[in-house]
Structure 1
Amino acid sequence: MKGIVSSAAVASMLLFTGCGDNKEETKTAEAAKPAAAEKFVLKFSHVVSPNTPKGKAADYFEKRLEELSEGRIDVQVYPSSQLYKDNAVLKALKLDSVQMAAPSFSKFGKIVPQLALFDLPFLFKDVDHLHRVQDGEVGQKLKDMVTEKGYVALAFWDNGFKQLSSSKKPLILPEDAEGQKFRIMSSKVLEAQFHAVGGNPQMMPFSEVYSGLQQGVIDAAENPISNIYTKKFHEVQKYLTISDHGYLGYLVVMSQKFWNSLPADLQEDVKQAMKDATDKEREFAAQLNNEQFELIKEYADKTGKLEIINLNEEQKDAWRNAVSKIYPEFYDADNIGEDLIKGALNTK
């Protein structure tokens, strides 16, 4: 009995005297536990509908990044200018009111005029060459220039190569452009391009192009197939020339403040998700271009109101020789820069 009592007493003493230590141990153990992983909200604003290549790629990016980050980044995509139009989104990114956007290159004109590289006609041999330029040294230099202006430039996304259309006469050789009034967006490069072939460039908002073509205010235009089809430009033009002479695209950018708030592992997740989404976006863009071109051809065959001209290599060379003469006008580093232009041309 005595032994039992002594043991109980000892146990009681240990329990009593150890209370303070247990509290300290508990505190230490709690402190040693990893803190709950911080979560982030990423608002991705864009101006097109969800069923476009850019819209589909944004939705893919959302799923992929949430998967890679295991839910630590909540991506919220806002399509169709629900939050901001492209002319306001760059300011919103600076304020971190939105964390990601994909404006067209033209919206960066005053910030990084070197992005006008993509306006230069016949600079790219084909889509593979274009992507090698974007994913290589030249593309990285351009992204670095944007990042230096207070954004984080992540990737180039496709709209597509531009084609020529006209109501006045078929555009087969450069001299066919002489005297024709071409709609252009605001761009010194595009202005020089059409002056080089005797055309008359007219700056006009995109929203006015259909009525301008319909009413004869302008004779001709340049657009990727997606713009031509969705805006029905082929219905108010007599000739469509498949020239692939120029390119329209987007630059995906992120708020620098948001980027800097992410831990290194989540920054890597963003990079990987963007790489995967970029591959998908290019697939989506190519697929849509092919599908819509087939619909335009069906319209041409059915109505007989549109003639489609596919330039052969000799005809393309004639255009290339005529318009490439403008390149030296933009060798100045304040415009595009000789190193970027020659770098793109020499990209293997």
Structure 2
Amino acid sequence: MKKLVLGTIAAAMVATSGLAAEYTLKFSHVVSPNTPKGKAADFFEKRLEELSGGKIDVQVYPSSQLYTDGAVVKALRLNSVQMAAPSFSKFGKIVPQLALFDMPFIFKDIDHLHRVQDGEVGTALKDMVTAKGIVALDFWDNGFKQFSSSKQALINPSDAEGQKFRIMSSKVLEAQIKAVGGNPQMMPFSEVYSGLQQGVIDAAENPFSNIYTKKFHEVQKYLTVSDHGYLGYLVVMSKKFWNSLPADLQANVKQAMKEATEKEREYAKELNDTQFKAIQEYAQKTGKLEIYTLTDEQREAWRKAVSKIYPEFYSDRLIGKDLIEKTIATK
């Protein structure tokens, strides 16, 4: 209904201005419209239509209405859809260097992360994706990951020893857990709640959004605010569609994306703060969850323990020494 109403309004505006849209841009994503990614996609739609003077008709399809993240990269190559924002893991086979964002404790804080994404390293990574036939536009946030456990609070690296950690399929994450004596267990995200509840796994790493929406905090005894790793998305566009646009409309796309990225980062921060507060309220109300925040000294102890894995990924076929060192050196 919303699409029909908006479409009618857009058509009326076009009729009034005497212009008809020359290009249709379908933006497919997998989350609901009220998430940071969903809200930013809607902002991008409105802004690009404004900047292009109605020449580009942007149509946002949330909640996997068109494609799943797994299928959307192929669809982009075929120009069946023109834009998407998959998680980094969906690019693993074509650009393994994006596993840089899995590197534990490599980002000092969110500002350092954004300087890396907006600087030389981020540009290099986007160029690698674009060289594979998909135009990389910008990075969008999900959030930093936090440790949780039912066995023992993860405050010092030694606390991880012997604990069974659920991880996503990632060589970096596997090496990270092994570096502190943990036992990495790859498990589908859909099975994590029952795995934690039944003790199949002891611990996990997730951003606050996953912890809160999937109620992991209700089946864990300890939560550590560690900000040790990052989850995000890469907004990409069909190369065929991009190349069909004249220079002025390409400039409009870049400008709309720049503004949408700023908004998405604001939305993501607001949501993470809100959901962390809700988790804290649950802990205070029930007394069933203990929350710890790593001190600077504790963070440094973790960084030293896990940074020994960095050289394992110096190969250019994996992440590359240059990208890792430039990330650490980014001011």
Normalised by the length of structure 1, the TM-score is: 0.89
Give me the whole-angstrom Cα distance separating, in 1, the residues matched to 2:150 and 2:74: 39
Give me the whole-angstrom Cα distance separating, in 2, the residues matched to 1:42 and 1:271: 14
**1:271 aligned partner:** 254
Structure 2: where are the runs of 5+ without partners?
1-18
Q: Tell me the secondary structure at the aligned position of residue 82 of structure 1.
A: coil
Counterpart amino acid of 2:52?
S
Aligned partner of 1:93 among 68, 76, 79:
76
Counterpart amino acid of 2:124?
K
**2:98 aligned partner:** 115
Q: Tell me the secondary structure at the aligned position of residue 317 of structure 1.
A: helix
Counterpart amino acid of 2:182?
G
> Could you list the per-position Cα deviations for residues 212-246 of structure 1 after superposition, in whole angstroms to 9, with x for gaps in the alignment?
11111111000001110011100000000000000
Per-residue deviation, 1:314: 1.1
**2:223 aligned partner:** 240
Give me the whole-angstrom Cα distance separating, in 2, the residues matched to 1:315 and 1:344: 21
**2:279 aligned partner:** 296
Counterpart amino acid of 2:242?
W
Give me the whole-angstrom Cα distance separating, in 1, the residues matched to 2:273 and 2:92: 30
Counterpart amino acid of 1:284?
Y
1:1-348 aligned within 5 A? 39-348=22-331
In structure 2, do the counterparts of structure 1 residues 38 and 301 end up closer, same or farther at CA, with 3 Å as the change threshold?
closer
Q: Tell me the secondary structure at the aligned position of residue 149 of structure 1.
A: coil
Per-residue deviation, 1:37: 7.1
Per-residue deviation, 1:117: 0.2
Aligned residues: 314
Give me the whole-angstrom Cα distance separating, in 2, the residues matched to 1:256 and 1:133: 25
Give me the whole-angstrom Cα distance separating, in 1, the residues matched to 2:281 and 2:266: 23
Q: Tell me the secondary structure at the aligned position of residue 142 of structure 2.
A: strand
Q: Tell me the secondary structure at the aligned position of residue 288 of structure 2.
A: coil
What RMSD in Å do the two structures reach over aligned CA positions? Answer: 1.0
Q: Tell me the secondary structure at the aligned position of residue 318 of structure 1.
A: helix
Structure 1: where are the runs of 5+ without partners?
1-35
Per-residue deviation, 1:313: 1.0
Per-residue deviation, 1:38: 6.2
Give me the whole-angstrom Cα distance separating, in 2, the residues matched to 1:211 and 1:43: 36
Counterpart amino acid of 2:190?
S
- % of aligned pairs identical? 81
